Each structure stands twice: as structure tokens, then as C-alpha cells.
Structure 1
Amino acid sequence: MLTKRLSRGVSACGYLTIRYLKAVVLMAATPISVLFGWLLPGVTAGLVRLANSELDRAGKFLGQSEAPQLPAAAERASGDLVTLFRDKSFKRSLRLYLGVLAMVPELFIAVFAIFAAPSAVLSGVLWPIDPGNFSIMGLGIDSWWDVAWLVPLQAALGLGTLAWVAPAVARGHANAVNNLLAPSAEQLETVRLNQRVDELTRTRAGAVDSHGAELRRIERDLHDGTQAQLVSLAVRIGIAKQVMADDPEKAAKLLDDARDGAEQAMHELRGVLRTMYPPILQDRGLAGAVAALCARCPLPVELRMGELGQVPAPVEAAAYFVVAESLTNITKHSAAGRVDVVLERRGPELYLEITDDGIGGARINEQSDLLGRGSGLHGMLHRVQAIDGHLELTSPIGGPTMIEVILPCE
């Protein structure tokens, strides 16, 4: 128990010492800041960064998993005092100077806690070398009697300070830092909203790009496949019409070919439509559609599915395409022997996990690599982010590969 307390005391003394050194740096930089801070934006931005480092250090000492941080200093032009004094982060950072008032007492406590006991023992051993010139507790040592009661007294005070006083002072200072410097609720909300705007801008841009690529793919499929079949069909019907009177047998054969071409065109058109919104989702729902995908996969697939409840159509489509693209990628590139798929509802979210025992090394790339991998995963990511979902890929070299997807259902 005592060892644990002393260890905490050493940590507290380290915190107080570093805090003192930062205060010294702050005081040394103050004249330059007063003279040029209004002119140089980097000076005032540095004050905000120093405040954030104090918040981070205090949070770590108090055992907080994530300390709140002040937003970065507002961008301003040189000499722009209006923006400077409107900057809430800068004004809150000025409270760092209140900590300067306690820097010397805190350093004294830290130094006394660390060195009181060792210095007492050392003085008690070395005093015979020069009697009267060694002191303990401010009292000169002239006899072993002085050593007998002064050494234990200073050692006990030092250890007590190290075990109880220093941690209490350090905790008090860390709490004061949080109370004085931590951003206000309004600032935190502003930061959250700004991050949300940035995230939405990024995901919507990705969704637009993905949507554009999907439209180009559909146009290419229609142009290269269905349109070519329909043109061929029109030509055959036209020829059959011309030769019908002179050669009915040849016209009948051309019409049979045209019928086959029409069926093939309809088949290709249905294939294109399935990539837009698979009819199987409408017919069987997400559970049946995913089960059908797993059943058609050439690899053994273990599907574990929970109760899904009511799932919005965009979420159904996103989950279906993630499963379809993942199974296709695994079949083509992973050299896997089996696949595990988990699909379940977790409160307001739909959770999807796809794991294979393949070679791993999958990455999300803008373009396909030399083996043709990566771009499909990039499209999956855009599709998931477009509905505010989250996709995480874990694929170390040698495997296994795991894709986790969380999609909001409300």
C-alpha cells in the first residue's frame, strides 16, 4: 500500500515539475508575446497549443481517457485585433497565467517530497566530516543526538509529503486546469457541428462520385450490351420484313433469331436493373436476399443472422451490396477456404461482419492494384458512408480479413 502511494507521489512530483517548467517557458515568452503577439498570429496560436498541452497532461494525470481540447486559434491576418479578441480559445488560454501564481510553491513541494528523506540520511551520515555545517530541518547538526531525532523527523515529513501531500496538490492543480482551460459547452458543440459538416461534406462528395461512377457503369452496360442487342434485333426484323415475300423460310429464321436476341436483351436489362436495386430485396427482404447470396457463393459460407426488424430500404440496399461485393472479392482474390457472415440488429443500428480465412492484405484504394483489388472496397466505403454508416477493414498479411459495417436504421 505504501509503495503504491509513494509511486503515485513520484508521478505527482513529475507532473508538478513539468508544470513548473511550462510556467517558466510561458513567463519567458510573455514579453515577446505582449510586443508581437497582436502582429504575429503564430504567437497567439502557440498560447492555445500550450493550453491544450496542459489540458492533455492534466487529463492523463487524472486518468481521463480523452481530455477535452480547445479549438485551434482562429485564423486571422497579421494585426487583426478584432478577430484576436473575439477568439474564445485565445481568451480562455490567457487563464494559463493564473497557474503562474502557484508555480513556486508547487515546485517546492515536489522537490521537498523527492529529496527530503535522502538528504536527511546523507546529512546524518556525513555530518562528522564538518560538524556544524550540515543541517536538517534548518537546524545545524553538532551531535549524534541531533541526528537521532532530526533525521527521522525530516525523513517522515518527506515521505508523508511524497505519499499524500504531493498527489493531493497535483490532483488539485489538474482539476483547476480542467476547470479553467477546458472549452465551454458552446465551444464543444461548435466543434462537433464543424466536424459533422466536414464529415458530411466528405461523405456526400464520395457518394456523388460513387453515384456518378455507378451511372457511367449503367450507361456503359446499356450501351455495350442491351443497346447492341436491340440494334441487332431491329436490323434482323427489318431484313425479315424485306425477304418475307420472296423467302418466307429465311424470314422465319430471322424472326427466330430476333426472338432469341430479344430474350437476351431482356436478360441483360434485368441484370442492369438488379445492380440498381435488386428485386430479391423486394421479394424476400434483406434476410432472404443475404441468405441467397451466401447460398450462391462457391465457397462454404456460415451465415449467422439475428432478428433484423424493420430496416430502411437504403440500408437494406447498402448491406446487400456490401455482402455481394465482399463475397465476390473473397472468391476472386482471397484464396480463402471458408467465409463467416454475421448480420444482426444492435439497437438502432444494423451490424454486419464478413470474415474469411484467406491470404489477407486487402486495402481500400481509389484504383485497383495490379491484381485488380481495392477499388470495389472503395465503392463499398462510399456506399456505406453515404447513409452515415461506418466501415472498418482489418486484413493483415496472411489473413484473416474482416469487414465490419455499422449502418444506422433510424
Structure 2
Amino acid sequence: MLTKILSRGGPAAGYLVIRYLKAVTLLAAIPISLILGWLIPGATAGLVRLANSERYRAARYLGVPQAEPLPPTLPRQAGDIATLFRDNSFKRSLRCLLMPVVMIPELVIAVFAIMGVPASVLAMALWKLDPGNFTLMGVGVDSWFEAITNGLAQIVVSLLVLGWVAPAVARGHARAVLSLLAPSAEQLETARLAQRVEELTKSRAGAVDSHGAELRRIERDLHDGTQAQLVSLAMRIGVAKQLMAEDPEKAAKLLDDARDGAEQAMTELRGVLRTMYPPILADRGLAGAVSALAARCPLPVDLRIGELGDVPAAVEAAAYFVVAESLTNITKHSAAGHVDVQLERRGSELYLAVTDDGIGGARISEQSDLLGRGSGLHGMLHRVHAIDGHMELQSPIGGPTTVEVILPCG
């Protein structure tokens, strides 16, 4: 029973004492805040941070999921009162000023809960040193009878306060904090939309960069490969045309070379086109294309493909390239012995996970490291974000490495 009382009352009393200390600090800061707060944007932002801190502590004490924080204060210049009083987060955080109102009653309860029993025992043992000046239950002690009866009564009352009153007050305080300092539905929606706009801005910038890099790569491949082959082909045909009458045998050999060059140019052109939208996706669908990738991988691949339904072409291409790049990275860098690929439809989203048992340590970076790792993952991330998807990499040192991708299909 005593253990239960201590486990209930100890955290409650500690919570109330810390609230008292914060309230005292806040009370001391109020005069300066009233004078300078409108001039110093950081002071009002600090009040919002205090409100969020109180909500976090209240949720943690109650054992409930972490509450939604108040959005940050609106950016403003010093002395900009108009923006200050349009700031809903600041106006909601002003309710923190109610803390000093309840700090004294809550402190009394917390101190009595903590010190009631020790004070009773000391008074019962030491009243003889100064009769009448040691009090128990508010009454001066002049005899052993009063010391024992009043002392036991005070111990019982202290345990009741510790086990039931202090927890009830602490829970009431925490619930009031969660309720009074909660952001409004409008604030949450505005904050959500602002975050969404920021995410879309970043993903759009990444998509533009990725698209530009892809165009440059295609142009480079066409210029250095296919175009060079076609120029060489045209030159050989021209020379063969000139030699046709004088040296038919040499002209025929040049035409044979030109035919080989044409075949090579077609092969390189198909390779470039395959990087834009793999033909195998149109021929065999996403499941068949991923199965082909797994079959070509030099490592054993455990492939699990669920029901995919109708998947948009852009999502199919993104998922295909994620699997292709992941298997390439694993083969080159991971020293893995086995790969697991999972692909399935989850509602309106396509879920993809590629896991290997390699050495781990993979990181997403714009530039490759000394071992040539990182940039491929960065390209995958851009490709996923470009269609509003989500990618997460887990790769602790020593492995395993898992790439999880969620792509919207709606």
C-alpha cells in the first residue's frame, strides 16, 4: 500500500513543485515582458516555447500521446504590435500567465505531501525539547498523548494528501494545461498547409534539379554515343557511294561497317530510351519488370509481390528505378549475401521495401563518397519526391540496410 502511495504521489508532487518553480520564474519575468516584450520578438516567441514545453510535460505526466504544439510565432519586426496581436499562437500562450495564480495552493499541497510524514515523526520525537512550539495538526504539543494522537492523525492525513490529493491536483493541472494551451483547429490546419507548401516547394525544386540532370544525361548520352555513331555512319555511306564505281569491293566493306554501326547506334539509342521509360514496364507491367531485375541480380533475391492493382505510369517508373538502383548499389557496395524485395499495394499507396544483409553505413548525399556511394540514393530520393512520395533509409553500421518507399497511386 505504501509503495502504491509513493508511486502515485511522488511524481505528482514533483510535477507540482516544478510547475511552481516555472511559475515563479514567469512571475518575475512578467514586468520586463510587459515593458520590452512588444519590442523584442524573441520574448514573445519564448512565451510560445514555454507553452509548448508545458503541454509536453503535461502530456508526459498524464501518459497520453504527445500533444500538438502551438505553431511558431509569426515573423515580425521589433515594435510591430499589429502582427503581434494577429498571432494566434502568442494570444493562446498568454494563458500561461494563469500559472502564478495557482502556484501557492499547489505548492502547499506538494510540500505537505512530501514533508508531512517526516515533519510528523520529527515533531513526535522532539516535542520535549520545546513543549508547545512543536505543532501537529495545527495544535501545539504539550504531552505525549497529544504527540502520539495528533502525530498519527497528521501522518494519515499526509499519506492521504500524498496518495490521492496531490495526484488529483496534478492531473487537474495537466489537463487544464492541455486544454487551455491547445492550438485551435484553424491554427493546426494553417500550420499543416504551411508545412505542406514547404514540402511541395522542396520536392518541386528537387524534381526540377533531377529533371535537369536527367535531360543533361540524356543529351550527353545522345551526343557522345548515338550522335557520334550516326555521324560516322553518314561518313561511311558517303565514302562508299564515291567508291561504288571505282572499287565496289571496298565500298561493300564500308557498307557492311555502316550496317554494324547502325545496329550499334540502335542499341545505344534503345539504352537511352530504356532509362527514360523502360519498355519492359509496358510489356510485362511493374511486377514482371521487377521480377526481371531480381532475376538479373547476381545476388539471391527473395521477391514478394502482392496485389498491385492499377498503378500510374509515373509511379511504375519510379518504383522500377528504385529497385534497379537499390540492387545496383547493393551489388557494388554492400558486400551483402542476400536481398529481400517487398512490393505491394496498401490502399491508395504503393509500398516498396528493399533490404540487404550487408555492411550498412549507407547515406544519402548529393556527392559520392570515396567509395562511390551516396549519389544514387540522392537521385532515388529526388525521383520519389517528384511524384509526392516518401522515402526512408535505415542503414546502421554493420547492417542491415533497408530502403522503404511509399508512392501515392491516387
> Into which bin does the TM-score normalised by the smaller protein fall?
over 0.9
Instruction: Work out the CA distance in 1 between the residues paired with 2:268 and 2:190.
Output: 51
Instruction: Work out the CA distance in 2 between the residues paired with 1:81 and 1:280.
Output: 62
Instruction: Give the equivalent residue in structure 1 for 2:299.
Output: 299
Instruction: Give the equivalent residue in structure 2 for 1:13.
Output: 13
- What letter corresponds to residue 371 of structure 2 in structure 1? L
List 4+ stretches of structure 1 deviating above 3 A: none
Instruction: Give the equivalent residue in structure 2 for 1:127.
Output: 127
Deviation at 1:131, TM superposition (A): 2.2
**TM-score for both structures, normalised by structure 1:** 0.98
Instruction: Give the equivalent residue in structure 1 for 2:115.
Output: 115
Instruction: Give the equivalent residue in structure 1 for 2:402.
Output: 402
Instruction: Give the equivalent residue in structure 2 for 1:79.
Output: 79
| Aligned: 1:155 with 2:190 | no
Q: Deviation per CA, 1:152-173, whole angstroms, max 9, x where unpaired?
A: 1111111111111111111111
Correspondence list, 1:129-148, <5 A:
129-148=129-148
Instruction: Give the equivalent residue in structure 1 for 2:281.
Output: 281
Instruction: Work out the CA distance in 1 between the residues paired with 2:213 and 2:285.
Output: 26
Q: Deviation per CA, 1:385-405, whole angstroms, max 9, x where unpaired?
A: 111211111112222211111
Partner-residue secondary structure (3-state), 1:354: strand
- What letter corresponds to residue 223 of structure 2 in structure 1? H
| Aligned: 1:195 with 2:195 | yes
- What letter corresponds to residue 276 of structure 1 in structure 2? M
- What letter corresponds to residue 137 of structure 1 in structure 2? M
Instruction: Work out the CA distance in 2 between the residues paired with 1:197 and 1:244.
Output: 67
Deviation at 1:277, TM superposition (A): 0.4
- What letter corresponds to residue 168 of structure 1 in structure 2? A
Partner-residue secondary structure (3-state), 2:396: coil
Instruction: Work out the CA distance in 2 between the residues paired with 1:251 and 1:57.
Output: 88
Partner-residue secondary structure (3-state), 2:17: helix
Deviation at 1:133, TM superposition (A): 2.1
Instruction: Give the equivalent residue in structure 1 for 2:390.
Output: 390
Instruction: Give the equivalent residue in structure 2 for 1:96.
Output: 96
Deviation at 1:47, TM superposition (A): 1.5
Instruction: Give the equivalent residue in structure 2 for 1:185.
Output: 185
Instruction: Give the equivalent residue in structure 1 for 2:247.
Output: 247
Instruction: Give the equivalent residue in structure 2 for 1:165.
Output: 165
Partner-residue secondary structure (3-state), 2:240: helix
Instruction: Work out the CA distance in 2 between the residues paired with 1:30 and 1:257.
Output: 89
Q: Deviation per CA, 1:282-301, whole angstroms, max 9, x where unpaired?
A: 11000000000000111111
Deviation at 1:305, TM superposition (A): 1.2
Partner-residue secondary structure (3-state), 1:94: helix
- What letter corresponds to residue 59 of structure 1 in structure 2? A
Instruction: Work out the CA distance in 2 between the residues paired with 1:339 and 1:17.
Output: 54
Q: Deviation per CA, 1:194-237, whole angstroms, max 9, x where unpaired?
A: 00011111111111111111111111110111001000000000
Partner-residue secondary structure (3-state), 2:63: coil
- What letter corresponds to residue 85 of structure 2 in structure 1? F
Instruction: Work out the CA distance in 2 between the residues paired with 1:302 and 1:348.
Output: 25
Instruction: Give the equivalent residue in structure 2 for 1:53.
Output: 53
Instruction: Give the equivalent residue in structure 1 for 2:30.
Output: 30
Instruction: Work out the CA distance in 2 between the residues paired with 1:67 and 1:263.
Output: 65
- What letter corresponds to residue 74 of structure 2 in structure 1? A
Q: Deviation per CA, 1:305-348, whole angstroms, max 9, x where unpaired?
A: 11111111111111100000011111111111121111111222
Instruction: Work out the CA distance in 2 between the residues paired with 1:381 and 1:155.
Output: 64
Instruction: Work out the CA distance in 1 between the residues paired with 2:195 and 2:186.
Output: 14
| Unmatched tracts of structure 1, length 5 or more | none
Instruction: Work out the CA distance in 1 between the residues paired with 2:5 and 2:195.
Output: 41
Q: Deviation per CA, 1:140-189, whole angstroms, max 9, x where unpaired?
A: 11211112211111111111111111111111111111221111000010
| Aligned: 1:330 with 2:330 | yes
Q: Identity of paired residues, percent?
A: 75
Instruction: Work out the CA distance in 2 between the residues paired with 1:5 and 1:200.
Output: 52
Instruction: Work out the CA distance in 2 between the residues paired with 1:336 and 1:84.
Output: 57
Deviation at 1:9, TM superposition (A): 1.4
Partner-residue secondary structure (3-state), 1:399: coil
Instruction: Give the equivalent residue in structure 2 for 1:353.
Output: 353
Instruction: Work out the CA distance in 1 between the residues paired with 2:51 and 2:400.
Output: 43
CA-atom RMSD, angstroms?
1.2
Instruction: Give the equivalent residue in structure 2 for 1:363.
Output: 363
Partner-residue secondary structure (3-state), 1:373: coil
Instruction: Work out the CA distance in 2 between the residues paired with 1:285 and 1:170.
Output: 60
Pair 1:21–1:212, CA change in 2 (3 A):
same
Instruction: Give the equivalent residue in structure 2 for 1:225.
Output: 225
**2:351–2:404: 8 Å Cα contact kept in structure 1?**
yes
**2:5–2:159: 8 Å Cα contact kept in structure 1?**
no
Correspondence list, 1:376-387, <5 A:
376-387=376-387
Deviation at 1:129, TM superposition (A): 2.4
Instruction: Give the equivalent residue in structure 2 for 1:266.
Output: 266
Instruction: Work out the CA distance in 2 between the residues paired with 1:335 and 1:358.
Output: 5
Deviation at 1:98, TM superposition (A): 2.2
Instruction: Work out the CA distance in 2 between the residues paired with 1:39 and 1:355.
Output: 54
Instruction: Work out the CA distance in 2 between the residues paired with 1:163 and 1:32.
Output: 39
Deviation at 1:2, TM superposition (A): 5.0
Deviation at 1:130, TM superposition (A): 2.4
Instruction: Work out the CA distance in 2 between the residues paired with 1:65 and 1:379.
Output: 36
**2:308–2:344: 8 Å Cα contact kept in structure 1?**
yes
Instruction: Work out the CA distance in 1 between the residues paired with 2:95 and 2:21.
Output: 17
Partner-residue secondary structure (3-state), 1:382: helix
Query: Structure 1 residues 394-403 or 286-295, which shifts more?
Result: 394-403
Instruction: Work out the CA distance in 2 between the residues paired with 1:110 and 1:24.
Output: 15
**TM-score for both structures, normalised by structure 2:** 0.98
